[in-house]
Amino acid sequence: MHIIYTLASGSLLLLAFLTFTNPRNVNKKANHWLGVFLFSFACLLLDRVLPDTAIYKKYPHLLGLTELTRFAMAPSLYMGVVYFTYPDRKFHRKDLLHFIPCLLFLFYIIPFFLHTAEEKRAILAGHFPLPNALTALIGRCMFYAIKIQIILYWVAAYIRLRRHQQNVQLFASNIGNIGLGWMRYFLLSLVSLIFLWFNELFFHIQPLIALTPWLFLVAVYCISYFSLRQPEIFDFPEPEVVEIRQIIQEQVQDKKAVLPRIAADQMQPLKDRLYQLMHLEKMYLEAELGLPDLAKRMKLSSHELSYLLNEGLGKNFFQFINEYRVEEAKRLLLSDQHRHLNMLGIAYEAGFSSKTTFNTTFKKVVGQSPSQFVQAHTTQHLKEALE
């Protein structure tokens, strides 16, 4: 099965190069970190292949090099997610704290690199003397530390992603690309690899172990697919990105600490103007409508419109726009003139960018799926006709 691991590790090395060099020029900082993670992961898989080849026997000083990045793998993944969710973030000195375990591991394996070529060949052959008790204990701690680190950083990355998907509702009406849905599938593909790895080490489910090389390869290709199809996340002009960031920061702070951005006597006139804009111009039908776009039409800043929605209406931008879209979808579903449209057509006509978002939002607002809504209305109409 070495050929399968060789193919998987080679694919990851190529993906790491493409991600780090970023030929599409999107999400630069995030992709640099993601490239480091993918390279570290590729080294982990290479460590399954190289010991059984003639490479280490011929060049014994290469032995152990694939382990150098082991403790950099999980922090790099987390930093990648951080920069995907916060593209204009600056690197801080405290970020280096994530890589202290990597530095400690480097110090731990330095003595190994000082071995002679003959000693390294003896290690490969299994004839090298056993380490003393302290060295064995440290090695055991390192063995478990890397597993714990991977779990903790994966959880932290997933929480960060979920928080981002909530925050984007403050300024986007269709979260689509900006919601980093592809990263969610990327992380889920990764957790399947972690489970396969842990199964080999701890669980020993034999049927699964036999399929592990092939499952590794499939998961690697899934990771590659989701990584290469990533879009630009915050495709807004720089001033608007800055304002959006400030809105998100205010959201996570104590609301009592947020200063009023609209005078109390202006709230109702602005709400009336907003309702008029929605009813007369139907801006919610624009699939890519964002908070800055609506703010310009209202002749307000994004901050002021966000304040109007949150404090004046008790809704975020996503909820406000999509409630109008749901009402439009209900009208279209019951309209004789639109019976030729399928559900996807109805979704697009109502301003939604995908059928999934349409179904999820519709059910959350109405309490029924679009199909159930149509069926319930048809049943009620027949009952009224019979009566």
Give the Cα separation of 333 and 347 in Å (integer): 10
Strand partners, 172: 290
Note whether residue 214 is domain-resident: yes
Mean pLDDT confidence for 301-323: 92
The DSSP symbol for 312 reads I
CATH at residue 38: 1.20.1070
**pLDDT for the residue numbered 3:** 87
233 assigned to some structural domain = no
User: Sorting pLDDT into bands at 50, 70 and 90, what band is 231?
Assistant: confident
Terminus-to-terminus CA distance in the chain, angstroms? 71
pTM for the full predicted model: 0.84
Residue finishing a domain among 254, 280, 314? 314
pLDDT at 317: 93
What's the pLDDT tens digit per position in 198-226?
A: 999 999 898 899 899 999 899 999 888 88
Boundary residue ending a domain (274, 290, 314): 314
C-alpha dist (Å) from residue 320 to 280, 291, 332, 340: 16, 11, 19, 28
Q: Domain limits at 274?
A: 238-314
Tell me: pLDDT of 95 over 90: yes
Instruction: Please give the Cα distance from 356 to 339 (Å, whole number).
Output: 20
- Average pLDDT (327-345) is 91
Q: How confident is the model at residue 320 (pLDDT cuts 50, 70, 90)?
A: very high
> Do 258 and 157 reside in the same domain of the chain?
no
Mean predicted lDDT score pLDDT of the chain? 87
Burial of 340 (0-12, 13-18, 19+ CB in 10 A): exposed
In a domain, residue 303? The reply is yes
Residue 387: the pLDDT is 61
**pLDDT for res 131:** 72
Question: What is the count of structural domains for the chain?
Answer: 3
Rounded-to-integer distance, Cα 91 and Cα 169, Å: 26
Please report the pLDDT score of residue 119 as a whole number: 86
Quickly state the pLDDT bin for 181 (edges 50, 70, 90): confident
pLDDT given at position 238: 62
Mean pLDDT of 244-266: 71
pLDDT tens for each residue of 78-88: 999 999 888 77
pLDDT, one tens digit per residue, over 279-294 is: 989 999 998 899 999 9
Q: What is the largest CA-CA distance in the chain?
A: 96
What are 142-175's pLDDT values in tens digits? 889 999 999 999 999 999 999 988 888 888 888 8
Does residue 32 lie within any of the structural domains? Answer: yes
- Residue 300 binned pLDDT confidence (cut-offs 50, 70, 90): very high
Cα separations in angstroms, 120 against 45, 179, 238, 345: 20, 49, 54, 65
Quick one: 251 and 220 in the same domain? no
b/e code 145-154 from CB counts within 10 Å (16+ = b): ebeebbeebb
- CA dist., res. 278 & res. 323, Å (int): 11
Q: Is the model's pLDDT at 237 over the cut of 70?
A: no
Mean pLDDT within 34-57: 88
Describe the crossing of helices 370-386 and 355-366 by its angle, rounded to 10 degrees. Answer: 50
- SS3 assignment, position 341: coil
Q: Is 290 helix (H, G, I), strand (E, B) or coil?
A: strand
Q: Are 116 and 215 found together in one domain?
A: yes
Provide, rounded to the nearest whole percent, the portion of the chain with pLDDT above 70: 93
Q: What average pLDDT does the segment 113-139 reach? A: 81
Over residues 375-382, the mean pLDDT reads: 82
HSE toward the beta carbon, residue 173, CA cutoff 13 A: 23
348, 287 in Cβ contact below 8 A? yes
Do 174 and 300 lie in one domain? The reply is: no
Final residue of a structural domain among 294, 314, 334: 314
